[in-house]
Structure 1
Amino acid sequence: MEIGYTLMCEQSDPRSLVRNAVAAEAAGFDFSVISDHAFPWLEEQGHSPYAWSVLGAVAQATERMELMTYVTCPIKRYHPAIVAQKAATVGLLSEGRFTLGLGAGENLNEHVVGGGWPPANTRHEMLVEAVEIIRGLLDGGYVNHRGTHFEVDSAKLWDRPEDPVRIGLAVSGAQSCAIAGELADLMIAVEPDAELGAAFDAAGGQGKPRVGQMPVSFDRDRDAAIDRAHDQFRWFGGGWKVNAELPGPAAFAAASQFVTRDDVAESIPCGDDVDAVVAAAAEWADAGFTHLALCQIGGDAQEGFTTWAESDLLPALRSAHRSS
Structure 2
Amino acid sequence: MVNFGYTMMCEQAGPTQLADDAVRAEQAGFDFAAVSDHYNPWLGEQGHSPFAWSVLGAAAYATHEIDLMTMVTCPTRRYHPAVVAQQAATIGVMSQGRFTLGLGAGENLNEHVVGAWPHRTQRHEMLAEAMEIIEPLLAGESVRHSGTFYDVPEARLWDVPTDGVPIVVAVSGPESLELADRADGVVVVQPDASLRRPGRPFYGQVALCYGLDESECRKRAVDQFRWFGLQWPVMAELPDPRAFDAAATFVTEDDVASAIPCGPDVDKHVEAVRRFVEAGCTHVALLQIGGEHQGDFIEWSRSELLPALHAAGA
TM-score w.r.t. the length of structure 2 is 0.98
Counterpart in the other structure of 1:286? 278
Q: Determine if contact 2:37/2:73 at 8 Å carries over to the other structure.
A: yes
Q: Determine if contact 1:5/1:29 at 8 Å carries over to the other structure.
A: yes
Distance 1:226 1:295 in 2: 15
Counterpart in the other structure of 1:274? 266
**As a proportion of its length, which structure holds more helix?**
1
Counterpart in the other structure of 2:122? 122
Alignment of 1:74 with 2:85, yes or no, is: no
Distance 1:56 1:140 in 2: 21
Alignment of 1:83 with 2:75, yes or no, is: no
Kindly provide the amino acid, as one letter, of the partner of residue 234 in structure 1: R
Change (3 A) 1:266 1:131: same
Counterpart in the other structure of 1:306? 298
Kindly provide the amino acid, as one letter, of the partner of residue 101 in structure 1: G
Counterpart in the other structure of 2:150? 150
Aligned length: 313
Distance 1:162 1:30 in 2: 22
Q: Determine if contact 1:285/1:321 at 8 Å carries over to the other structure.
A: no
- Alignment RMSD: 0.7
Counterpart in the other structure of 2:191? 192
Distance 2:54 2:295 in 1: 22
Q: Could you tell me how far 1:237 is from its partner in structure 2?
A: 1.6
Distance 2:284 2:27 in 1: 18
Kindly provide the amino acid, as one letter, of the partner of residue 262 in structure 2: C
Q: Could you tell me how far 1:321 is from its partner in structure 2?
A: 3.3
Kindly provide the amino acid, as one letter, of the partner of residue 318 in structure 1: H
Q: Could you tell me how far 1:33 is from its partner in structure 2?
A: 0.2
Alignment of 1:243 with 2:242, yes or no, is: no
Counterpart in the other structure of 2:63? 62
Kindly provide the amino acid, as one letter, of the partner of residue 296 in structure 1: Q
- Percentage of identical aligned residues: 58
Kindly provide the amino acid, as one letter, of the partner of residue 131 in structure 2: V
Distance 2:65 2:180 in 1: 27
Distance 2:6 2:313 in 1: 16
Distance 2:165 2:194 in 1: 27
Distance 1:21 1:306 in 2: 10
Gapped runs of 5+ residues in structure 1? none
Q: Could you tell me how far 1:104 is from its partner in structure 2?
A: 0.2
CA deviations over 1:92-130 (Å, ceiling 9, x no partner) = 00000000000000000000001x111111000000000
Query: Per the alignment, in what secondary structure is the counterpart of residue 145 of structure 1?
Result: strand
Q: Could you tell me how far 1:142 is from its partner in structure 2?
A: 1.4
Q: Determine if contact 1:282/1:321 at 8 Å carries over to the other structure.
A: no
Q: Could you tell me how far 1:177 is from its partner in structure 2?
A: 0.9
Distance 1:211 1:229 in 2: 23
Q: Could you tell me how far 1:318 is from its partner in structure 2?
A: 1.1
Kindly provide the amino acid, as one letter, of the partner of residue 235 in structure 2: N
Counterpart in the other structure of 1:43? 44
Query: Per the alignment, in what secondary structure is the counterpart of residue 284 of structure 1?
Result: helix
CA deviations over 1:156-200 (Å, ceiling 9, x no partner) = 00111111100000000101112102x110100101011222xxx
Q: Which moved more, 1:208-217 or 1:274-283?
A: 274-283
Query: Per the alignment, in what secondary structure is the counterpart of residue 122 of structure 1?
Result: helix
Distance 1:316 1:8 in 2: 23
Counterpart in the other structure of 1:179? 179
Distance 1:139 1:20 in 2: 31
